[in-house]
Amino acid sequence: MKFKDYEYKRPDIEQMEKDFEVLLLQFKEAKSAHEQNDIIEKITNLRNNLETMHTLVSIRHSINTLDEFYMEEQNFMDENSPRYMNMVTKFYKELIKTPFRKELENTWGEQLFNLAQVQIETFSEEIMEELVKENKLSTEYDKLIASAKIQFQGEERNLSQMRPFMESRDRDVRKAATKAYMDFFTANEKEFDRIYDQLVKTRHSMAKKLGYDNYIPMGYKRLSRTDYDASMVKGYRDQVYRDLVPVVEELKDRQRKRLGLSKMYYYDEPLEYLTGNATPKGDSKWIMENGKTMYEQLSHETGKFINFMIDNELLDLEAKKGKRGGGYCTVIADYKAPFIFSNFNGTSGDIDVLTHEAGHAFQTFMSMDFPLPEYKFPTLEACEIHSMSMEFLTWPWMETFFQDEVEKYRFSHLSGAISFIPYGVTVDEFQHEIFQNPDMTPDERKETWRRIERKYLPSKDYEDNDLLNRGGYWFRQGHIFSNPFYYIDYTLAQVCAFQFWIKNREDSKEAWEAYLRLCKAGGSLPFTKLVQLAELDNPFEDGTIKRVVGPIKEFLDKIDDSQY
């Protein structure tokens, strides 16, 4: 059944609430774990159906934000998803106090109860109004980003379509393209400030109503972090500052020399080489044909997966008018189908999407038999291990896509992955300071960003760009608006993915078996236990980054990147 034939029907929230109440009463009155297990299955079916409808709306709205029908349905979901959260929270409250908890844990796993506990601690009917407002503000941000109409070289382009020009070998072109890109954010500065200011205040208000000092502990629990806290994350950021920032600064200086520049400015950074960045040697159709072959050759499981995705048209990859920016993977529960969304633009990022988002999708494909919505995906930092590791596990096939530029791509991919981490922790430290001080003015927030940015990215130079010099770069980072504290997850996962890169070079069979084991576990374990299951070093343990970066630095130091 193809994606276009997946049926959407607006959920009857009132009826669902009534059905939920009946099932909850039966759950409370059940005389055995067996009875409760049957009821959990019925509740799960109700939840999967509603989440399927919500996901179909989300996908179709993001494919075309101008579609009035799905615009209206997205608004309906924004307004009603807190009511759904309320139903689920009521279920969780009954779940954690059942006298049959031990027997249910044997059936469903302990993680369900961990997740239930943190959900209870982050939701109450008294914050429903704020949750609706938060949803609407996040949707406002997405629509604002999607509204970009940039006139450049005689054509109107969206933000994603500007990327190839921002990587131009002609310095004047990339400077002009980057300026045009950032001019959109400058022109809408007050709107970005307004949306974020309201989001911060709304989230702070929710936290205070639920008895927290500020939003930080609530934000961690909303991300279902049951096995680490803000102090452990701070220790991790300290490792990055001590053991990784100097390595990244060396790589930035190598890039400056490759480009033949006495000084590298922000608009130079997207260009890796004077000969141009490595690019895929074909269009999106060609990429997908070769991607199909790659996954068929990688393993039996990935072959089955990619054919399922292609046959059912579960990929929307090309940038087009009205399409939301970025890329993501999601899961359509009732159809047991992952979905990949992206904006191909002719850069190496197109291949990264094919591997990164496919890593997410493959994990859900392998863990689709978990009936519980909670186990379809793990917590977000663990999710990103699947995606980032797949980028490295597919390295042997990169020659297919990049041909004579494959070594250039591999150097860029690996050095870029390392260089990303200090930026990722900048986003994280910024958010901690913002939510510790929710009454900051918009200007103070920008000053805070610029100060933290200078700490982790000391060589970043914005030349004469006023907004960026004042600290406005973070406007373009959607996670800050829609999903606070999420972004550090990419960096934690990257440290784990580097270990798969190391494992794959030492023993590819063993590396694949560990990866498959991780994917099959879905969300049935918390982050640190999934790391343990895959036999990886925990990023929070002091010394992990230093150990992991050593072999990577050694690999990169042996490459004469000046030849590229």
Do the Cβ atoms of 415 and 556 come closer than 8 Å? Answer: yes
82, amino acid identity: P
Do the Cβ atoms of 267 and 178 come closer than 8 Å? Answer: yes
Residue 22: CB atoms within 10 Å? 12
Per-residue pLDDT tens digits of the chain, which is 564 residues long: 999 999 999 999 999 999 999 999 999 999 999 999 999 999 999 999 999 999 999 999 999 999 999 999 999 998 999 899 999 999 999 999 999 999 999 999 999 999 999 999 999 989 999 999 999 999 999 999 989 999 999 999 999 889 989 999 999 999 999 999 999 999 999 999 999 999 999 999 999 999 999 999 999 999 999 999 999 999 999 999 999 999 999 999 999 999 999 999 999 999 989 998 899 999 989 999 999 999 999 999 999 999 999 999 999 999 888 898 888 999 999 999 999 999 988 888 899 889 999 999 999 999 999 999 999 999 999 999 999 999 999 999 999 999 999 999 999 999 999 999 999 999 999 999 999 999 999 999 999 999 999 999 999 999 999 999 999 999 999 999 999 999 999 999 999 999 999 999 999 999 999 999 999 999 999 999 999 999 999 999 999 999 999 999 999 999 999 998
Q: Which of these, 562, 564, 514, 550, lies nearest to 535 by C-alpha position? A: 514
Backbone φ and ψ for 37, nearest 5 degrees, come out as -60, -40
Q: Which of these, 448, 485, 478, lies nearest to 233 by C-alpha position? A: 485
Residues in the chain: 564
Phi-psi region of 346 (alpha: psi -120 to 50; beta: other; left: phi over 0): left
In angstroms, rounded to a whole number, what is the distance separating the alpha carbons of residues 418 and 469?
24
Q: At which residue do the structure tokens 């150990």 appear?
A: 547
Q: What is the pTM of this model?
A: 0.89
Structure tokens at 516: 């498959």
Residue 114: CB atoms within 10 Å? 17
What H or E segment, with its residue span, contains residue 187?
helix 171-187
Q: What is the pLDDT of residue 39?
A: 98
Q: Rg (Cα) of the chain, in Å, rounded?
A: 23
In angstroms, rounded to a whole number, what is the distance separating the alpha carbons of residues 272 and 278?
9
Q: What is the pLDDT of residue 326?
A: 82
Q: What is the pLDDT of residue 203?
A: 98
DSSP string for 23-62: HHHHHHH-SSHHHHHHHHHHHHHHHHHHHHHHHHHHHHHH
Give the strands of the sheet with 328-332, arranged side by side.
315-318, 337-344, 328-332
In angstroms, rounded to a whole number, what is the distance separating the alpha carbons of residues 393 and 449?
35
Q: Which of these, 487, 478, 480, lies nearest to 146 by C-alpha position? A: 478
Q: What is the pLDDT of residue 347?
A: 86
In angstroms, rounded to a whole number, what is the distance separating the alpha carbons of residues 301 and 285?
23
